[in-house]
């Protein structure tokens, strides 16, 4: 029975057009899936709704509220009657929009103080504002140059519905006729999410274009000795389209982190195409096209499968990340490397048969040696060989040196800060971010920390008293909290500032509160919510605040049967910081476990762990470079460890396999290591450089989270080459000594 690669080689040789037809059918299916790809922003990218924390957050937003949309008005004087009349008319129009609950602004304050009508003169307007509470005026009218309208949406409005409301608001503003000199800007978290989604869409296209251009340049200069040298770029493009298609078919959305996967795939995928193309070009020089197809598919196919599987296992470790978009990144990368591998395995031989591939003449190859001397590549080969020989002869000093650096890197890695502030991930000049920062400067933080309280009866006097007391306690003991609203404060408001002491009194007050207002804080008789307003602060400070409130809940000893759980966006991002801190190590360890198990399963001997040891060093070096460059761990850079394992394992495995091959031919150990690095080192250097070109596209991103990831991945690939070419020979030497083959090394040293 033929193995799958022999079967595929025979099918390509004997039924070329049938194989091509099947490949085209799969490609068309991917094109259909391409139309189903969606963009995703918001909470779902950070937290899994199926977890208790995610379910509570979803329940809170569906039951009690959603983000508000802000409209910023800027003019030489927003107190002008013409401007205020325009704002009043616009607010009336917006109140009629679907999903809009309330619309409020400075005009409502003026109308309330003027018998329900808007004052018609500047003097009347100034007089009313002068008598209004200063804190209210400061929020609604921070200066004569700007004022803000707040549009509160109905509770439980979905992200899609919010986007619909935003589009409708913009349409209403577009057909309105603002007075000359008045600028109207739509802002708030929903507007920020919408613009971020649109930016991600354009960013994805830009990064793919840059990566493909860089790949063309890399392949043109580094792969010029073969015919159809740009074929690998076309293969990667096919693999990328297949990846997009399967994303659409499997329902995997594009998020801020997933955007970074596509240049990574281009950088890795080009390697498979180049290796198969180069092997076919090598085989065709000494045989016929069918023979070259057979040799390439049956011999190179399984070897690349092992390397690809090792890479995929690094990405599969990300499936277990608690942050959904990190898991999606791993899933997309896994789909992508498999797609690029399959595309290369089929397209290279099929194109060769269809075009009747002929190798380029040796004397036409750029970089070939002139008659009187060596080429640059040949000199580089000899340099690598001498370096490997020296390292393998004196392995312990090399290992100790790099191990000490790695140990320092692991120590520094613990000092690298963690960031989960979404606003630091996006371009600094993104209009939605700038307008949101303007609102924060004027109104303070628009975020709150909600606490969902459940009990058999949350309206019992005892429970209400605890809710009221806890709200007061937090305000008095934490300067980051500026206020609290709850069912207790609402009842006080409708009961002359007094909290009822009996159930009957509570029922009487509840009956006087409008149903819409009550629903904002109460869900039946068994659940209610407190909301703490806070100052604007960095996410690390917010993380500490959330932890302190959690401790305070326990300290204040809720009545029997009462539970209080913190939720909301601030708590979610604080949890994401914890998840990043924990998952970056967990994913790295899991990646090592997967690779180690895979290597032992494939090679079935102890020395199979050799390729993993340099990768441990590389991961340590990554931590050091992140600390020295002042970078943060984010949901994207958190994948660096497991991704490095996948990328670097290919290089170290290839060095080990070639060394084993030379040893099996009877070569002495030091000569085998020298030959392995000399033959494979140049190939993986070229491969590594093409990968670097692909990863470099990430540094062009306007998203800070992606560009920083690009910097560290490019450096990490460089580390991977050093680990394979310099550290791997030393590890192999030590392994051979421990495996009882030190006599070979000693003999080689004497012979020298």
What's the pLDDT tens digit per position in 247-300? 999 888 888 788 878 888 887 888 888 888 888 888 888 888 899 999 889 888
Tokens of 230: 């740009």
Long-range contacts from 221-226, C-beta under 8 angstroms, 24+ separation: 222/686, 222/689, 222/690, 223/274, 223/277, 223/278, 223/686, 223/690, 224/365, 224/366, 224/367, 225/281, 225/360, 225/365, 225/366, 225/367, 225/368, 226/277, 226/278, 226/281, 226/359, 226/360
CATH class as words, domain 375-429+576-752: mainly alpha
Residues with pLDDT less than 70, the chain: 1-2, 65-66, 362-377, 442-446, 739-752
Task: Give me the pLDDT at residue 367, please.
Answer: 43
The C-alpha atoms of residue 33 and residue 211 are separated, in whole angstroms, by 23
Tokens encoding 44? 């779902």
Measure the CA–CA gap between 287 and 289, rounded to whole angstroms: 7
pLDDT in the model for residue 746 = 41
Instruction: Give per-residue pLDDT as tens, 583-608.
Output: 888 888 898 888 888 888 887 777 77
| CATH pick for 1-47+223-366 out of 1.10.760.10, 3.40.140.10, 1.20.1640.10, 2.30.110.10 | 1.20.1640.10
d(CA 217, CA 46): 37
What's the confidence (pLDDT) of residue 398? 92
Under CATH, what is the fold of the domain 67-194? Alpha-Beta Plaits (3.30.70)
pLDDT at 399: 93
For the chain, what percent of residues have pLDDT higher than 90? Answer: 19
pLDDT value at position 371? Answer: 43
Q: Which pLDDT tens digit goes with each residue over 666-688?
A: 888 888 888 888 877 777 787 78
- Provide the pLDDT for residue 431: 85
* β-strands 183-188, 527-534 pairing: unpaired
Domain span(s) for CATH 1.20.1640.10 in the chain: 1-47+223-366, 375-429+576-752
Name the β-bridge partners of 100.
153
The ranges of the chain annotated as CATH 3.30.70.1320 are 67-194
pLDDT reported for residue 706: 86
> What pLDDT score does 302 carry?
86
Residue 514, phi-psi category: left (phi > 0), alpha (psi -120 to 50), beta (remainder): beta
Distance CA 260, CA 328 (A): 11
């Amino acid at each position: 029975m033929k193995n799958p690669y022999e079967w595929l080689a025979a099918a390509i040789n004997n039924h070329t057009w049938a194989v091509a037809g099947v490949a085209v059918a799969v490609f068309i299916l991917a094109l259909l899936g391409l139309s189903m790809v969606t963009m995703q922003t918001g909470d779902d990218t950070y937290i899994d709704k199926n977890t208790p924390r995610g379910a509570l957050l979803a329940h809170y937003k569906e039951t009690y509220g959603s983000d508000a949309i802000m409209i910023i008005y800027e003019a030489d004087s927003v107190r002008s009657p013409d401007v205020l009349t325009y704002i009043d008319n616009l607010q009336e129009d917006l109140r009629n929009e679907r999903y809009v609950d309330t619309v409020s602004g400075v005009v409502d304050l003026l109308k309330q103080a003027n018998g329900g009508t808007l004052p018609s003169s500047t003097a009347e307007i100034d007089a009313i504002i002068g008598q209004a509470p200063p804190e209210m005026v400061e929020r609604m009218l921070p200066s004569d140059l700007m004022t803000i309208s707040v549009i509160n949406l109905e509770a439980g409005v979905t992200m899609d519905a919010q986007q619909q409301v935003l589009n409708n608001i913009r349409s209403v503003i577009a057909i309105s006729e603002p007075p000359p000199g008045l600028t109207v800007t739509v802002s708030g978290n929903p507007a920020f999410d919408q613009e971020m989604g649109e930016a991600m869409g354009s960013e994805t296209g830009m990064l793919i274009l840059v990566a493909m251009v860089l790949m063309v340049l890399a392949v043109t200069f580094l792969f010029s000795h073969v015919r159809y040298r740009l074929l690998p770029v076309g293969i990667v493009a096919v693999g990328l389209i297949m990846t997009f298609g399967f994303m659409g078919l499997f329902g995997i959305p594009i998020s801020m982190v997933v955007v970074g996967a596509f240049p990574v795939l281009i950088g890795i995928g080009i390697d498979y195409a180049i290796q198969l193309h180069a092997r076919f070009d090598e085989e065709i020089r000494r045989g016929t096209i069918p023979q070259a197809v057979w040799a390439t598919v049956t011999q190179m196919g399984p070897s690349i499968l092992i390397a690809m599987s090792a890479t995929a296992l690094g990405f599969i470790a990300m499936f277990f990340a608690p942050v959904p978009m990190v898991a999606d990144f791993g899933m997309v990368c896994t789909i992508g490397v498999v797609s690029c591998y399959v595309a290369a395995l089929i397209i290279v031989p099929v194109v060769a048969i269809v075009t009747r591939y002929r190798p380029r003449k040796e004397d036409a190859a750029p970089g070939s040696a002139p008659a009187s001397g060596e080429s640059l590549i040949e000199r580089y080969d000899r340099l690598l060989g001498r370096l490997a020989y020296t390292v393998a002869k004196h392995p312990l000093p090399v290992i100790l040196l790099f191990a000490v650096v790695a140990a320092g890197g692991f120590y520094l890695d613990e000092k690298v800060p963690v960031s989960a502030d979404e606003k630091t991930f996006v371009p600094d000049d993104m209009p939605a971010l700038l307008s949101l920062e303007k609102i924060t400067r004027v109104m303070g933080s628009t975020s709150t920390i909600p606490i969902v309280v459940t009990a058999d009866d949350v309206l019992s006097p005892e429970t209400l008293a605890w809710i009221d007391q806890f709200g007061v306690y937090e305000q008095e003991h934490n300067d980051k909290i500026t206020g609290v609203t709850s069912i207790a404060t609402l009842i006080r408001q409708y009961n002359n500032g007094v909290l009822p002491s009996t159930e009957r009194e509570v029922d009487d007050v509840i009956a006087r509160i409008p149903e819409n207002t009550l629903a904002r804080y109460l869900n039946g008789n068994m659940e209610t919510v407190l909301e703490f307003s806070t100052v604007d602060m960095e996410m690390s400070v917010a993380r500490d605040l959330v932890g302190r409130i959690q401790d305070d809940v326990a300290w204040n000893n809720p009545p029997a049967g009462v539970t209080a759980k913190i939720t909301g966006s601030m708590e979610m991002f604080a949890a994401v910081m914890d998840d990043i801190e924990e998952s970056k190590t967990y994913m790295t360890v899991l990646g090592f476990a997967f690779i180690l198990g895979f290597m032992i399963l494939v090679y079935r001997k102890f020395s199979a762990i050799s390729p993993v040891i340099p990768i441990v060093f590389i991961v340590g070096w990554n931590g050091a470079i992140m600390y020295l460059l002042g970078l943060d761990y984010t949901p994207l850079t958190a994948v660096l460890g497991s991704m490095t394992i996948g990328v670097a394992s290919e290089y170290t495995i290839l060095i080990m396999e070639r060394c084993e091959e030379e040893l099996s031919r009877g070569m002495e150990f030091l000569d085998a290591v020298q030959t392995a690095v000399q033959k494979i080192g140049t190939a993986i250097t070229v491969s590594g450089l093409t990968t670097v070109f692909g990863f470099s596209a990430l540094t062009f991103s306007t998203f800070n989270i992606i560009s920083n990831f690009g910097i560290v991945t490019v450096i990490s690939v460089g580390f991977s080459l050093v680990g394979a070419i310099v550290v791997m020979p030393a590890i192999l030497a030590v392994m051979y000594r421990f495996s009882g083959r030190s006599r070979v090394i000693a003999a080689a040293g004497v012979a020298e």
